[in-house]
Structure 1
Amino acid sequence: MLKKVEDTIFLHIIRGVNWLGIDSVECPMEKRLKVWNRLGDDSKPTKLNEDMVNEVSLKELPGVLADILEGKVRGRTIVKL
């Protein structure tokens, strides 16, 4: 489970904590496309369900955004145009 980190990085740098990540900007596009295609194919999660996706209209968006900011929304929200 991923958790949101709300903190400044400054204190962690002082304490010697390493924040590690992936920088795909320097990766050649051919390699990126290969990885993205794999993520959408054989590495794609198999147990996704309808509850993880919430589709809303533009009219509903202000209310949904307020819910997101309050932490009431889980999963993905798709705005239908």
Structure 2
Amino acid sequence: MDISFDLEYIGGSEENVLDRIISRITEKTGKNAKEVLAEINKKHEELNLLAVEVVALIVAREKGVDISDLIDDVEKKVLG
């Protein structure tokens, strides 16, 4: 199953948890959102996880980004 996410997923009037994770990664790394999302998509394919938000957390942690306050939000998003 190919589940890829693009910049259309990001946005809207209310910032979602994926937006916040990507924003933090861009701030920490200096990469733009498109580059960060490409990394998340690559890792998503490697890990074969369905929840892109979980993969985004993994990428953030690998880059030394503090996302501890977002874990509960991701859990709510993923588990409902």
TM-score by length of 2: 0.24
Structure number having the greater strand percentage: 1
Structure number having the greater helix percentage: 2
* Higher RCO, Cα 8 Å, sep 6+: 2
TM-score by length of 1: 0.24
